[in-house]
């Protein structure tokens, strides 16, 4: 395909247009009567283009993107599973798309029922008493969950609890969310396999600890086998357990965070429940809590009367609001469709097949790639780069070479526990044929690294653009078309 | 076992287990304590086929009512060209992850660059990030930015004329983060600038947040306000409707340091409250305090133009608890929505949208006042598409009647105040009908 490199602004020609609006038949130009001081003086440089210009431009841009529909996306901790098409169809149904969020509840009973049913389904799948679906993303869910934690201690007049324990292997959002929620982060060290060292944890548990944030399996894909002991210790010390649901996929259908002793969790609907990542959102980060924390969930909430009517409730003990309305409702519609498509029987296979896929890749590649932790993993695992370190080929090189072979790269240089981390998560929607192809290519890259390391270091060779100057971009930020023009 | 989303046959599973060297799927979970393996039944329905699923959603949809909307309050029934929704269905866009591998994500990176450029045009500001969750959370992030940009100032002053939803979210964020918040009551429907400046004299105020148009729909006049705030070493954030900024004086023209708002007005479906997007723009000096993703232009080793995520040293995956925010993604696909919408509408289209909405709103306002049952709540105050009236009518009852006829009437603000909104989608005939129904009830 021809290389396409235009910005929409560069297609602009004065006098062209891409819209049609009705004629103004109000018979009076009210805007002309607004005080001139309140009006914009500066010219508005938006493109002037036709409808076809726009269609071709963005279609051409889409061709420069890689998505799950393009190929395999083994991105660790991101759960890039297939995004079912029926979800898109139902989410666009006019019976939902044109609902105003402040409509009388009697006129949005279907929307409220969907919200309620999804809350309920997530509760059942996770073993927690109630969910809010209002948070917009995983990180937003973390923040909301930590606010629940703080609100709980606050409600008990326990103002000393200002710290939260976060493992050094945690996702970067955990400490950042804690900071935003006004909590001080206390790091607990991981053992070499990424699991929490109980002996290191014990001395940290005093009456200043609000709780602990954990993901299980941890970021190395290993299950925290001592989770029940950890839960007991944290609870005895008066703290709460927060579950980072980024790694929930391997447990879906097998293990419920609520049953492991977690009090609060968030779920990424865009990971575990198949809603599209959208190039970085919109996602959705529902937060579930145990029975004793229900009243602290954010407003507004959706509840049901005994006679089956749904209503919007604003609780007095709530932590407050974290969203303008009900969150990313369109995303919830997709997740709900996904749950119904799998049903209570089908959903039991999600975690197990995701786990099977990950272990299969791991066992097939550990001859060429350095596996720091032996044993059965869950949905993902980490290689510490190539086994043969003598070639000088890095994880970054391998990742870029994969792009040439039509695969997305794994998550690289995370977790920080290893220098050359390559985190691979296949998800359950990939077939053994796709996994075999991926395994073959990674073996081939390892061979290339041995035989012709410089070629691997030059990768990618076949992509629309190659090594981009990121240092230059950060040193002198060009963030708008206007700045780009000034540069030219 | 067989399901269209899960490809594993019994033979596949056997082969894979053999390779792994375990007997059964259960063996993959042997490290999990037996007592936490879930052996119960999930309280969700059995699997639905596509036919059943469609029917189920149709049944749910039938319990909703599509209305002719005459209310706003942060979500407006604007028109969106057919092309936008079509292009958003390109799965190369919607099934992509955050553009961490720029070589195969130029589509996403380039539209974000275009989005940043267009929002910067609307706000007049030099920098815009890749988008935020919504207008309310973007406003809370602006509060963090202002506090982080000052030394030892930990209070932010909010005008009560911001929408209630925005104030509630900002209040929540401030409370838990430990920022002191002062909400200054409105004066005749607009920000009490004098009272705000007086609050600032204490010396602990990092910044001020106001809005335009405000919660009553009024276009506020901030002449000289930014200079006075800057003289007291504080920052000014303006929460503004980006659609309206095509015609209204921009936050940059008012001298603001940060502009934020909700992008829903850029043609986004109401969708019962989301997804929309929040935007955040700022002056160059505050750039490094800005949260979230930012895309910059650069070149590749062959000299080709390309785009990358930049200034990542501010972000959570590098800085962890020292990051400017915990935001890691954006509302990327909605940023694409806004970009395509603005590309189609162009500067002329955006002016026409505002003109039609403004003329329609004034036509409705005049017609309602002419019934004798309504008076302007804030006489003489200029508005664009949303306005507030005072009435003695039992508006709950009137709204019930309107509902029966398929209309969503005004928001009832309390104290006899009601707020209407009119967009370019409303017709003169619909407005006449609305007024007729209200007059009959009166």
- In this predicted model, what pLDDT tens digit does every residue of B156-169 receive, in sequence order? 999 999 999 999 99
Distance from C-alpha of A161 to C-alpha of A206, rounded to nearest angstrom: 9
pLDDT tens, residue by residue, B359-383: 999 999 999 999 999 999 999 999 9
Whole-number percent of chain B with pLDDT over 90 = 94
The answer to whether position A355 is within a domain reads: yes
Determine whether the interchain pair B126/A298 forms a contact, defined as Cβ–Cβ distance below 8 Å: no
Q: What is the pLDDT of residue A197?
A: 92
Please report how the helices A329-346 and A109-126 are oriented relative to each other, as an axis angle in degrees rounded to 10.
Answer: 50
Q: How confident is the model at residue B417 (pLDDT cuts 50, 70, 90)?
A: very high
Q: What is the mean pLDDT of chain B?
A: 96
Same structural domain for residues A256 and A364?
Answer: no
Please tell me the total count of domains within chain A.
3
Q: Which pLDDT score, from 0 to 100, does residue B410 have? A: 98
Binning pLDDT at 50, 70 and 90, where does residue B316 land? low
Interior/surface letters B54-78, b for 16+ CB within 10 angstroms, e for the rest: bebbeebbebbbbbbbbbbbbbbbb
Residues B201-221, mean pLDDT to the nearest whole number = 97
Q: A195 with A302, same domain? A: yes
Would you call A361 an interface residue with chain B, using a CB distance cutoff of 8 Å?
no
**What's the pLDDT at A3?**
78
Say whether both A269 and A342 belong to one domain.
yes
Establish if A211 touches chain B: CB-CB under 8 angstroms.
no
Query: Average pLDDT of B354-362?
Result: 98
Q: Residue B261: list chain A partners with CB under 8 A.
A: none
Please tell me whether residues A153 and A224 are part of one structural domain: yes
Residues 6+ apart with CB under 8 A from A378: A217, A221, A222, A223, A247, A250, A251, A354, A355, A358, B28
Domains in chain B, ordered, with CATH?
10-58 (no CATH), 68-78+346-441 (3.90.1150.10), 82-339 (3.40.640.10)
Interface test with A, best of B75, B105, B176, B259 (most A CBs within 10 A): B176
- pLDDT band, residue B318 (cuts 50/70/90): low
pLDDT at B313: 76
Q: Is the omega angle on the peptide bond into residue B125 within 30 degrees of 0, that is, cis?
A: no
Cβ <8 Å between A323 and B133: yes
Which residues 266-305 in chain B show a CB within 8 A of chain A? 269-277, 287, 293-302, 304-305
| Phi-psi map region of B380: left, alpha, beta (phi>0 left; psi -120 to 50 alpha) | left
Location of structure tokens 């919660």 = B215
Cβ contact A21–B349 (<8 Å): yes
Q: pLDDT value at position A2?
A: 67
Answer yes or no: do A481 and B65 touch at CB < 8 A: no
Of B47, B213, B42, B297, give the one whose Cα is nearest residue A477.
Answer: B297
Interhelix angle B10-20/A432-451, nearest 10 degrees: 40
Same domain, A121 and A198: yes
Same domain, A223 and A235: yes
Interface touch B47/A359, C-beta < 8 Å? no
Q: Any chain A CB within 8 A of the CB of B370?
A: no
Put simply, the answer to whether A349 touches B15 (Cβ < 8 Å) is no
Flag whether the pTM goes above 0.90. yes
The interface predicted TM-score of the complex, written ipTM, equals: 0.97
- Give how far B19 is from chain A: nearest CA, Å: 7
**CA dist., res. A1 & res. B77, Å (int):** 39
Say if A76 falls within a structural domain.
Answer: no
Q: What pLDDT is attached to residue B355?
A: 98
| Total Cβ atoms within 10 A of residue A316 | 6
Domain identity same for A96 and A37: no
pLDDT of residue B323: 73
Domain termination site, one of A319, A347, A375: A347
Q: Say yes or no: A362 and A302 in one domain.
A: no
Position A163 in a domain:
yes
- A378 in a structural domain: yes
* pLDDT, mean of residues B319-341: 87
* Mean pLDDT, residues B214-243: 98
Give me the residues of A, 264-293, that contact B with CB < 8 A.
274, 276-283
Residues of chain A under the 70 pLDDT cut:
1-2
Which of A16, A45, A60 is the C-terminal boundary of a domain? A60
Last residue within a domain, chosen from A347, A367, A393 = A347
For residue B178, the SS3 value is coil
Taking the CA atoms of residue A61, residue A63, residue A67 and residue A68 in that order, the dihedral angle to the nearest 10 degrees is 150
Alpha-carbon gap, residue B296 to B341, rounded angstroms: 22
Shared domain check, A136 and A105: yes
**Within a domain: residue A155?**
yes
SS3 letters for chain A? CCCCCCCHHHHCCCCCCCCCCCCCCCCCCCHHHCCHHHECCCCCCCCCCCHHHHHHHHHHHHCCECCCCCCCCCECCCCCCCCCHHHHHHHCCHHHHCCCCCCCHHHEHHHHHHHHHHHHHHHHHHCCCEEECCCCCHHHHHHHHHHHHHHHHHHCCCCCCCEEEEECCCCCHHHHHHHHCCCEEEEECECCCCCECHHHHHHHCCCCEEEEEECCCCCCCCCCCCHHHHHHHHHHCCCEEEEEHHHCHHHCCCECHHHHCCCEEECCHHHHCCCCCCCCCCCCCCEEECHHHHHHCCECEEEECCCCCEEEECCCCCCCECCCCCCCHHHHHHHHHHHHHHHHHHHHHHHHHHHHHHHHHHHHHCCCECCCCCCCCCCCEEEECECCHHHCCCHHHHHHHHHHCCCCCCEECCCCCCCCEEEECCCCCCCHHHHHHHHHHHHHHHHHHHHCHHHHHCCCCCCCCCCECHHHHHHCCCCCHHHHHHHC
Three-class secondary structure of residue B298 per DSSP: strand
Query: Which residues in B lie closer than 8 A to residue A277 (C-beta atoms)?
Result: 94-98
Instruction: Give, in order, the Cα–Cα distances in Å from B358 to each of B24, B338, B411.
Output: 68, 21, 18
Rounded Cα–Cα distance for residues A445 and A439 (Å): 10
Q: How far does the CA of residue B361 sit from the closest CA of chain A (Å)?
A: 9
* Contact residues, chain A, for B45 at CB < 8 Å: 340, 343-344
Domain that holds residue A390: 349-471
Report the CATH number at residue A423.
3.90.1150.10
CA A73 to each of CA A7, A67, A403: distance values in angstroms, whole numbers, following the listed order? 28, 8, 11
Indicate if the pLDDT at residue B73 is higher than 60. yes
What's the pLDDT score for residue A1? 55
B279: which strand partners?
B261
- For residues A376 and A336, membership in a common domain is answered with no
Domain membership flag for residue A309:
yes
- The pLDDT value recorded for residue A194 is 83
Per-residue pLDDT tens over the stretch B291-310: 999 999 999 999 999 999 99
pLDDT on residue B315: 67
Taking only Cα atoms into account, the Rg of chain A, rounded to an integer number of angstroms, comes to 25
Distance from CA of A159 to the nearest CA of B (A): 12
| A86, A337 Cβ separation under 8 angstroms | yes
Chain A partners within 8 Å of B274 (Cβ): 101, 136, 282, 323-331
| Residue A126 belongs to domain with CATH number | 3.40.640.10
Q: How far apart are CA A240 and CA A290, in angstroms?
A: 10
**Which residue from A91, A96, A81, A171 is spatially nearest to B333, judged by alpha carbons?**
A91
Per residue in B112-150, pLDDT tens? 999 999 999 999 999 999 999 999 999 999 999 999 999
Q: Are residues A391 and A450 in the same domain?
A: yes
pLDDT at B120: 98
- Would residue A72 count as lying in a domain? no
Cβ pair A283, A275 in contact under 8 A: yes
Residue A364: inside a domain: yes
Residues A212 and A264 in one domain: yes
Of A12, A31, A106, the CB nearest to B247: A31
Minimal C-alpha gap between B294 and chain A (Å)? 8
């Amino acid at each position: 395909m021809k290389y396409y490199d235009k910005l929409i602004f560069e297609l602009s020609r004065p006098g062209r247009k891409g819209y049609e609006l009705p004629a103004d038949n109000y018979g009076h130009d009210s805007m002309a009567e607004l005080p001139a001081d309140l009006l914009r003086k500066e010219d508005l440089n938006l493109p002037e283009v036709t409808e076809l210009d726009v269609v071709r431009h963005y279609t051409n841009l889409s061709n420069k993107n890689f998505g799950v529909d393009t190929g395999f996306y083994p991105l660790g901790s991101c759960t890039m599973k297939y995004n079912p098409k029926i979800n898109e169809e139902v989410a666009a149904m006019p019976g939902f798309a044109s609902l105003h969020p402040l409509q009388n509840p009697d006129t949005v009973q279907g929307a409220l029922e969907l919200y309620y049913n999804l809350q309920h389904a997530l509760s059942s799948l996770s073993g927690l008493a109630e969910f809010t679906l209002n948070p917009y993303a995983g990180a937003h869910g973390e923040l909301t969950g930590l606010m629940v934690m703080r609100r709980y201690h606050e409600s008990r007049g326990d103002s000393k609890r200002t710290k939260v324990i976060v493992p050094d292997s945690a996702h970067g959002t955990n400490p950042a969310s804690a900071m935003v929620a006004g909590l001080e982060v206390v790091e607990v060290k991981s053992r070499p396999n990424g699991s929490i060292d109980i002996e290191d944890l014990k001395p940290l548990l005093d009456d200043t600890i609000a709780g602990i944030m954990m993901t299980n399996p941890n970021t190395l894909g290993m299950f925290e086998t001592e989770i029940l002991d950890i839960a007991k210790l944290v609870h005895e010390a008066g703290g709460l357990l927060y579950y980072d649901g980024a790694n929930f996929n391997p447990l879906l259908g097998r293990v419920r965070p609520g049953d492991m002793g977690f009090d609060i969790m968030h779920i990424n609907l865009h990971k575990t429940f198949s809603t599209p990542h959208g190039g970085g959102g919109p996602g959705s980060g529902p937060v579930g809590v145990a029975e004793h924390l229900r009243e602290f969930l954010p407003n507004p909430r959706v509840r049901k009367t005994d006679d089956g009517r749904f209503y919007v409730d604003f609780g007095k003990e709530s932590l407050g609001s974290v969203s303008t309305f009900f969150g990313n409702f369109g995303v919830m519609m997709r997740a709900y469709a996904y749950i119904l498509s799998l049903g209570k029987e089908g959903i039991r296979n999600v975690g197990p097949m995701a786990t099977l896929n990950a272990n299969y890749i791991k066992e097939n590649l550990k001859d060429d790639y350095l596996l720091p932790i032996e044993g059965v993993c869950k949905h993902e695992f980490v290689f510490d780069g190539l086994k043969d370190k003598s070639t000088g080929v890095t994880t970054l090189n391998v990742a870029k070479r994969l792009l040439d072979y039509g695969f997305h790269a794994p998550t690289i240089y995370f977790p920080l526990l290893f220098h050359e981390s390559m985190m691979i998560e296949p998800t359950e929607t990939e077939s053994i044929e796709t996994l075999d192809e991926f395994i073959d290519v990674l073996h081939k890259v390892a061979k290339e690294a041995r035989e012709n390391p410089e070629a691997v270091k030059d990768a990618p060779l076949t992509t629309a653009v190659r090594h981009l100057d990121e240092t230059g971009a950060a040193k002198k930020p060009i963030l708008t078309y206007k700045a780009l023009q000034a540069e030219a | 076992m067989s399901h269209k989303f899960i490809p594993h046959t019994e033979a596949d599973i056997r082969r894979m287990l053999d390779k792994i060297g375990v007997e059964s799927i259960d063996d993959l979970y042997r490290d999990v304590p037996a007592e936490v393996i879930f052996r119960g039944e999930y309280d969700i329905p059995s699997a639905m086929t596509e036919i059943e699923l469609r029917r189920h959603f149709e049944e749910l949809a039938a319990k909703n009512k599509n209305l002719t909307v005459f209310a706003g309050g942060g979500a407006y029934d604007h028109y969106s060209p057919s092309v936008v929704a079509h292009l958003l269905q390109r799965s190369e866009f919607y099934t992509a992850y955050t553009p961490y591998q720029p070589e195969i994500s130029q589509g996403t990176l380039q539209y974000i660059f275009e989005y940043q450029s267009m929002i910067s045009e609307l706000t007049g500001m030099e920098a815009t990030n890749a988008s935020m969750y919504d207008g309310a959370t973007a406003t809370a992030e602006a509060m963090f930015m202002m506090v982080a940009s000052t030394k030892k100032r930990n209070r932010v002053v909010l005008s009560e004329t911001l929408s209630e939803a925005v104030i509630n979210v900002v209040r929540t964020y401030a409370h838990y983060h430990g920022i002191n918040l002062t909400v200054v009551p409105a004066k005749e429907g607009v920000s009490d600038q004098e009272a705000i400046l007086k609050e600032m004299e204490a010396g602990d105020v990092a910044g001020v947040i106001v809005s335009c148009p405000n919660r009553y729909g009024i276009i506020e006049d901030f002449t000289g306000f930014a200079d006075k705030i800057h003289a007291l070493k504080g920052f000014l954030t303006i929460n503004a409707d980006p659609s309206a900024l095509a015609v209204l004086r921009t936050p940059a023209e008012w001298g603001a340091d940060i502009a934020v708002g909700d992008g829903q007005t850029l043609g986004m479906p109401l969708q019962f409250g989301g997804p929309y997007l929040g935007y955040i723009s700022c002056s160059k000096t505050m750039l490094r305090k800005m949260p979230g993703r930012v895309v910059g232009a650069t070149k590749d080793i062959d000299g080709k133009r390309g785009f990358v995520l930049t200034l990542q040293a501010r972000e959570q995956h590098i800085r962890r608890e020292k990051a400017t925010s915990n935001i890691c993604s954006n509302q990327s696909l909605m940023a694409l929505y806004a970009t395509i919408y603005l590309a189609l509408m162009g500067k002329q289209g955006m002016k026409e949208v505002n003109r039609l909405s403004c003329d329609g709103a004034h036509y409705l306002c005049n017609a309602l006042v002419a019934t004798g049952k309504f008076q302007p709540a804030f006489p003489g105050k200029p508005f664009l598409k949303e306005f507030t009236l005072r009435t003695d009518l039992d508006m709950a009852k009137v709204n019930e009647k309107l509902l029966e006829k398929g209309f969503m009437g005004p928001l009832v603000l309390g104290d006899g105040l009601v707020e209407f909104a009119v967009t370019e989608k409303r017709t003169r005939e619909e407005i006449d009908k609305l007024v007729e129904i209200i007059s009959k009830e009166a």
